[in-house]
């Protein structure tokens, strides 16, 4: 401690600029959103208080349920695959392959692009008549696939794009987790005659479990908030079969000017994510302790 300095006081002083911005642009809007959800408001005219009417409408709204279901579909499609692929990538880059730094860069590379760039790129690749994928399929004599325009494939195509885009991030997290495992554990296992897959199964997987939980929670939250890829690639189509909850929130708020209803929808999404995260944390955290 430097004489004349007071850590607490200085700490607070240094935090003030950040805290001001944080309170103003994060905390205040958070509560203001909740407040708005009790009003009927089109942004331009004066809001009128309608109590819980927005929430009542919401639970009878078929589009809300279908959007929620599409979001859950996306979560179920992407979360396990992203975890597994991220983990496999991490194994590849922490192993002894001479190509590991090349692989690390290649795997992480897509993550640096913005959502718009990635989605536009894949939307072109997957275009039904002129896209590279279908051109290639036609060349090798396979029937082209309606990647984005058939309800059977559209969500999978978006999931595939997301996989390509973000699995590098999970790789970094898993990579860090694997690097923290002491070398001695692996050495003694190999002296005892353990094969590579045995040590992965019995050493790596159990010892990165805290990273797995972190990735799982982050991934589920991220997947529940999916919007950009859907919006750019399919616009929620075909006939609304890929419309996700955040898209519906955006549409009701900024296309149809139902700000109160839109805010109510966001709070429901917030509650869902909150409950899932707490459940995960409690259930998986307890498992680790025992």
Partner 1 sequence: MKKRLFVLMVVLLISTLLFAQGAGEKKKDGPIEITFWSLFTGGDGEFFDAMVDAFNASQNEIFMKNDMVKFDNYYVKLTTALAAKNAPDVVVVHQGNLLNYVPSGSLLALDEYVKPGMLADFQTAPLEACRFDGKLYSLPFDVHPIVFYYNKDLMAKAGVTKVPVTAEEFIEAALKIKKATGKWGLAIDNTTGVYKAYTLARLFMSMIAQQGGSLLNADATAPTFNNAYGERALTWLQGLVHDYKVNPPELDYDAAMNVFKLGDAAFYFNGVWATGTLEATPGLNFGASQLPALMGKEAAWAGSHTLAIPVQRTLDPKRIEAAMTFIDWMTSHGEMWAKAGHIPTRKSVALKDEMKALPYRSDYAAGAASALPTPRTPAWEEIYGTLSDMLEYAVTKNQNPKQALAEMEKTVKEIIATY
- The span from the CA of 60 to the CA of 54, in Å, is 10
Radius of gyration (Cα) for the chain, nearest Å? 24
Cβ neighbours of residue 104 closer than 8 Å, sequence gap 6 or more = 93, 171, 175
Shortest Cβ 251–partner 1 spacing (Å): 8
137 or 217: whose CB is closer to partner 1? 137
150 or 209: whose CB is closer to partner 1? 150
For residue 37, the tally of other CB atoms under 10 A from its CB is: 23
Shortest Cβ 156–partner 1 spacing (Å): 16
33 or 237: whose CB is closer to partner 1? 237
Shortest Cβ 281–partner 1 spacing (Å): 35
118 or 220: whose CB is closer to partner 1? 118
Cβ neighbours of residue 127 closer than 8 Å, sequence gap 6 or more = 134, 147, 148
Shortest Cβ 125–partner 1 spacing (Å): 14
Applying CB under 8 A, the residues found at the interface with partner 1 are 42-45, 57, 127-130, 146, 148-150, 234-240, 251, 254-258, 261
Shortest Cβ 131–partner 1 spacing (Å): 10
User: In this structure, what token pair is assigned to residue 25?
Assistant: 């642009």
* Cα four-point dihedral sign 51, 53, 59, 64: negative
For residue 121, the tally of other CB atoms under 10 A from its CB is: 17
41 or 174: whose CB is closer to partner 1? 41
């Amino acid at each position: 401690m430097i004489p004349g300095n007071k850590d607490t006081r200085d700490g607070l002083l240094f935090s003030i600029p950040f805290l001001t911005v944080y309170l103003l642009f994060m905390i205040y809007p958070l509560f203001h959103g909740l407040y708005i959800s009790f009003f009927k408001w089109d942004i331009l005219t004066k809001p009128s208080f309608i109590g819980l009417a927005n929430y009542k409408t919401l639970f009878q709204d078929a589009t809300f349920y279908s959007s929620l279901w599409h979001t859950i579909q996306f979560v179920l499609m992407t979360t396990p695959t992203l975890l597994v692929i991220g983990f496999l990538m991490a194994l590849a880059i922490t192993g002894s392959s001479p190509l590991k730094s090349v692989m690390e860069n290649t795997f992480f590379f897509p993550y640096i692009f913005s959502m718009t760039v990635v989605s536009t790129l894949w939307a072109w690749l997957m275009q039904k008549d002129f896209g590279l994928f279908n051109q290639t399929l036609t060349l090798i004599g396979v029937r082209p696939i309606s990647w984005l325009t058939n309800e059977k494939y559209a969500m999978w195509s978006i999931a595939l794009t997301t996989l390509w885009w973000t699995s590098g991030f999970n790789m970094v997290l898993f990579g860090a987790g694997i690097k923290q495992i002491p070398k001695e554990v692996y050495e003694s296992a190999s002296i005892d005659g353990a094969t590579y897959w045995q040590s992965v199964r019995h050493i790596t997987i159990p010892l990165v479990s805290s990273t797995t939980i972190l990735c799982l929670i982050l991934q589920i939250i991220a997947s529940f908030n999916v919007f950009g890829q859907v919006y750019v690639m399919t616009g929620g189509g075909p006939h609304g079969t890929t419309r996700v909850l955040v898209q519906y929130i955006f549409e009701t708020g900024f296309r149809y000017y139902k700000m109160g209803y839109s805010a109510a929808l966001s709070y429901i999404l917030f509650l869902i994510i909150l409950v899932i995260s707490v459940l995960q944390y409690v259930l998986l955290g307890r498992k680790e302790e025992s």
